[in-house]
Amino acid sequence: MRKYEGLFIFPPEEAQEASKGEESRLEETITRFGGRVVERHDWGRRPLGFPIRRFREGRFLLWNFEMEGPQLGEFRKALELNEKLLKSMIVKPHEPKPVKETKKRQRAPREQARESWPRRAGEERTHASQS
């Protein structure tokens, strides 16, 4: 199962029973498509950036859930049919890749580096220590 993060915006209901009913319907929809809710965060009422269906505020829910990839498309279609839902966004959470340790290249001392320089024709190397 793949992990997903969903942000769901509902109208700012005054009655707690109505909002709890919407949450239970959303969870039923996720389980109907073979998923399971891992974590829930209720962000509460927040102002919207622009009006959606004449609402200037919405109730934000951020849920982490697991679901098979092919079922996700059907789940999104089911969300579009939910008339109470104002907006939804589902993304795959970013999981940082493990950092590979790189070996630092050992640099040669300066004297060795100078000796490896190409010489011009007829030129001999002189070192400061030999002068």
**Mean pLDDT of the residues in the chain:** 83
pLDDT at 22: 87
Which of the two residues, 80 and 130, has the higher pLDDT score? Answer: 80
Q: What percent of the chain has pLDDT over 90?
A: 54
Specify the range with the lowest mean pLDDT, choosing from 28-42, 50-64, 65-79, 98-112.
Answer: 98-112
Q: Out of 2.40.50.140, 3.40.30.10, 3.20.20.80, 3.30.70.60, select the CATH number for domain 2-91.
A: 3.30.70.60
| CA–CA–CA angle 19, 87, 72 (5° rounding) | 100
**pTM (2 d.p.):** 0.68
Contacts of 125 (CB under 8 A, 6+ apart): 114, 115, 119
Q: pLDDT tens for residues 8-41?
A: 999 987 656 777 888 899 999 999 999 999 999 9
Specify the range with the lowest mean pLDDT, choosing from 4-13, 71-80, 96-105, 113-122.
Answer: 113-122
Which of the two residues, 108 and 55, has the higher pLDDT score? Answer: 55
Domain spans of the chain, in order of start: 2-91
Q: Is the pLDDT of residue 129 over 60?
A: no
Mean pLDDT of 51-67: 93
- Measured between alpha carbons, how far is 37 from 35 in angstroms, rounded to an integer? 7
Tokens 């939910």 correspond to what residue?
Answer: 82
| CA–CA–CA angle 30, 59, 33 (5° rounding) | 5
